[in-house]
Chain A
Amino acid sequence: MQEALIGRLKEVLSDVMEKMFYMVPDDLEGESPSRDGEYLAEISIEGKRRITLQFLLPESLAKQMASNFLPGREPSEEMVQDALREMANMVGGNLISGMGGDWRLGLPRVHQGIEAYGAVLGREPVCEFDVEGDPLYVYLQVG
């Protein structure tokens, strides 16, 4: 199940990033940079099992996403977190659309700073992307 889920997750994330944030994520090649991230967006999907998706990214990428999502002015902290919640929501919602069965999407949350890094400490991401020079790490927990 997990392999199919990761494949679908990559497709959905790319679609959301391209259509709503006008950014193209490429698979991260070579050695991963430090996995310290300033922001962590997460969303849970509950059904037969509990699936948690987490997205760890640096501040520069978070700000660029917010700026592309709603162009026109320097994004406030609220707008940055809002854009990240919306990204997690769209990825989670589109993922369950293709899963079939009775799944329920939780509400997205954003952690910042030490909380963000601490939430994924010691775990390996299931995918790593290069988004216009910034890393985006995706973590998956299936309970």
Chain B
Amino acid sequence: MIVDDSLSMRKLIKKVIELSGFDVEEFLEAANGREALQLLEDHWVDLVLCDIHMPEMDGLELLRQMRQEEVLGRIPVIMISTDGRKEVLKEAQELGAKGYVKKPFSPEKIRETMDRVMGEEYARGADR
């Protein structure tokens, strides 16, 4: 799932993921945290790529609310944001974000971060 208030950014991230060779069955898109939570009520996703700075409900609040739910709390989240301040990154990490990509980004950075996070999830699944 891609959560970003910019339609162009959502399309760009989707394109980068497709060109990186990830086998994605379906992309879900949301324009803010509230829309994302609504979609997550009815859909299971393997990964959430989420902007921080959004209207209505920002990415950190989405992360906070996901972590309060047992099932949603297990979905790995990668934050993609312009805000690279240490305190913001620390908060995202404390809330359980598994990765961070700073905008402007290179396609390689998205691919590397997804590779790492999905690899860790796969390994965790294999251990269980």
Contacts and interface: CB of A to CB of B under 8 A. Distances in A.
Interface of A: 15-16, 19-20, 66, 69-70, 78-79, 82-83, 85-86, 89-90, 92-94, 96-97, 105, 107
B28 interface: no
Nearest to B54: A107
Interface of B: 6-9, 11-12, 15, 53, 55, 81-85, 102-106
A83 B8 contact: yes
Interface of chain A, main secondary structure: helix
Given A20-B104, A93-B53, 12 more contacts: A20-B103, A70-B12, A70-B15, A79-B7, A82-B8, A89-B103, A90-B82, A90-B104, A93-B81, A96-B83, A97-B82, A105-B82
Contacts of A83: 8
Contacts of A93: 53, 81-84, 103
B106 to A, nearest CB: 7
Given A90-B103, A93-B53, A105-B53, A69 B8 contact: yes
Contacts of A79: 7-8
Contacts of B85: 96-97
A86 B8 contact: yes
Given A96-B83, A105-B53, A82 B103 contact: no
Most buried by B among A16, A83, A90, A93: A93
B82 A89 contact: yes
Nearest to B83: A93
A105 B9 contact: no
A15 B84 CA distance: 15
Contacts of A97: 82-85
Given A89-B53, A93-B81, A82 B6 contact: yes
